[in-house]
Amino acid sequence: MVGIRLRWFEYSIVCILVLNRVLQLTAAVSAELFFKPFNVSYDHRALIIDGKRRMLISAGIHYPRATPQMWPDIIDKAKEGGADVVQSYTFWDLHEPVKGQYNFEGRNDIVKFVKLVGSRGLYFHLRIGPYVCAEWNFGKAIFSQVIRFHLLSFKMLCTECMMLSDPNYDYCFHCWFRLGNIPYFTSFQEEMQRYVKKMVDLMKQEMLFSWQGGPIILLQVENEYGNFESQYGQKGKDYVKWAARMALGLGAGVPWVMCRQTDAPENIIDTCNGFYCDGFRPNSYKKPAFWTEDWNGWYTTWGETIPHRPVEDNAFAVARFFQRGGSFHNYYMYFGGTNFGRTSGGPFIITSYDYDAPIDEYGLLSQPKWGHLKDLHAAIKLCEPALVAVDTSPKYLKLGPKQEAHIYSKVVRTEHLNSRQSGNEIICAAFLANIDDHNDATVTFRGRVYTLPAWSVSILPDCKNVAFNTANVGPFLLGLACFLLHIYELPLKFKVLLVSL
């Protein structure tokens, strides 16, 4: 009898230990599940997340240009500033300093960085490249034993021909290896495919894609190859097609983009990089308009003044992009950071990569840029229901010689909660633009008079009241607060509190 009790006791202990282990594993999996698994696709208008079109604001943050201790605070500030997405390149030379030997520790811990983004409820756009430029030494390309000698041999010539716009671009690294100067082309393709597959497999292993409950909703292969492709004729075109096939064949389960690639193949979204992208249209009506790099500043070179882009101009460019049909916008950079070690690329670029970003090199808010853009993002989000509802181009209305309006309006069916009643509702958002860069203008829109400062956009989330104007940089949230006062007749004490902000 005693023996039976002992065996039963031992059996119970084993069951408890097994159950405890199962609970631990379940908790571990749950802790890494940042979202309920969802699919990502797209149509001609926008990215479709879990069955719904979205207007997305993205913050460019390069994880190796900050310390891991800085990451949480930077990500939190990006979210507070209105970002939905964080975007980063991957860094081939950091992750694989020697062929087959990988480094994902410290500043190279991309998995930790992506998980931090997901833990904040933000999405992630992973730009694998692997060549990505980014003013990084050799564009972050591999320093593997296979091509190390050739990289070092052509380093000086590459820099020289970039500076002088030498027509012999065949010898410049960023195109020379990608393009296919036999016999090294095949080797580069093999190395590139191996690295891209490594990164995709790593993200799958860590359950970081959207369909796994992770934050990654978008990927990128290559980077601005279209800037040089025409110099290589059919070889260049073949390389683009190969890169697209290779990427799509990895089964990542989320859309891929190619930036500045007007001949991006079907099923790859071609995107815009630049200071202004409101006139950009993708190469197919089936693809949405994405702006993967909004240059809200610029890098600094030795002996030159620090570039500065006024926030009024930056806000104007963003508002115009959404006004004219854009749906995904990324700041390059939202946080620029520091070129640690000898990572600065290009001629005479300094250690700082501050980029006149909304968050400065040290992780501090750069005002008024951060605050003004935060207000802009809030106004765009108020317009999102109307922006995603309209399938066609917005209605265009001429308001003056250099003044115009774009109106997103649609009748939608509404269902009232806890009621069987339903009805129709008109949702409407309008953007009034003054593209005269010298003179203010007064315009009439739908029977109301509006003053538009020079080179500015006023955003009207209800087609009546101005929530934000890109040129009016003042007490943050004041314009948005005034709009809310119109919509929600708040008690006097709350009105005073809001306006006092």
Q: What is the pLDDT of residue 409?
A: 97
Write down the pLDDT at residue 188: 83
β-pairing, 403-415 vs 395-400, is antiparallel
Q: Using CA atoms, how far apart are residues 436 and 414, in angstroms rounded to an integer? A: 40
Q: Which of 483, 454, 276 minimizes the C-alpha distance to 379?
A: 483
Closest by CA position to 307, among listed 357, 345, 344: 357
pTM of the entire structure? 0.84
Tokens of 205: 């292993």
Query: What pLDDT shows up at residue 91?
Result: 92
Over residues 132-148, the pLDDT tens digits come to 786 766 544 554 434 44
Which pLDDT belongs to residue 232? Answer: 87
Is there a catalytic annotation at residue 293? yes
Minimal CA–CA distance to 131: which of 149, 157, 115, 151?
Answer: 151
Q: Which two tokens stand for residue 112?
A: 């930790």
pLDDT of residue 25: 42
Residue 40: the pLDDT is 99
Candidates 293, 312, 361, 384; catalytic one: 293
- State whether residue 92 is helix, strand or coil: helix
The whole-number pLDDT of residue 494 equals 37
pLDDT in tens, 216-240: 999 999 999 999 899 889 999 999 9
Amino acid 17: pLDDT: 53
Span 179-217, pLDDT tens digits: 554 455 567 889 999 999 999 999 999 999 999 999 999
87 HSE (CA, 13 A, CB side): 27
Q: What pLDDT, on a 0 to 100 scale, did the predictor assign at position 28?
A: 41
**Bridge partners, residue 66, by sequence:** none
From the candidates 135, 224, 229, 384, give the one annotated as an active-site residue.
224
Residue owning tokens 């202004």: 276
pLDDT for the residue numbered 8: 54
Domain spans of the chain? 40-151+175-386, 395-474
> How confident is the model at residue 160, as a pLDDT?
38
Q: How many whole angstroms separate alpha carbon 48 and alpha carbon 471?
A: 32
What is the distance, to the nearest Å, from the Cα of residue 491 to the centroid of all Cα atoms in its chain? 39
| Fold category of 40-151+175-386 in CATH | TIM Barrel (3.20.20)
Look at strands 468-469 and 216-221 and give their pairing: unpaired
Give the pLDDT confidence score for residue 493 in this predicted structure: 38
222 is catalytic: no
pLDDT (0 to 100) of residue 32 = 66
Positions in the chain whose pLDDT score sits under 50: 2, 4-6, 18, 22-31, 139-140, 143-171, 181-182, 479, 490-501
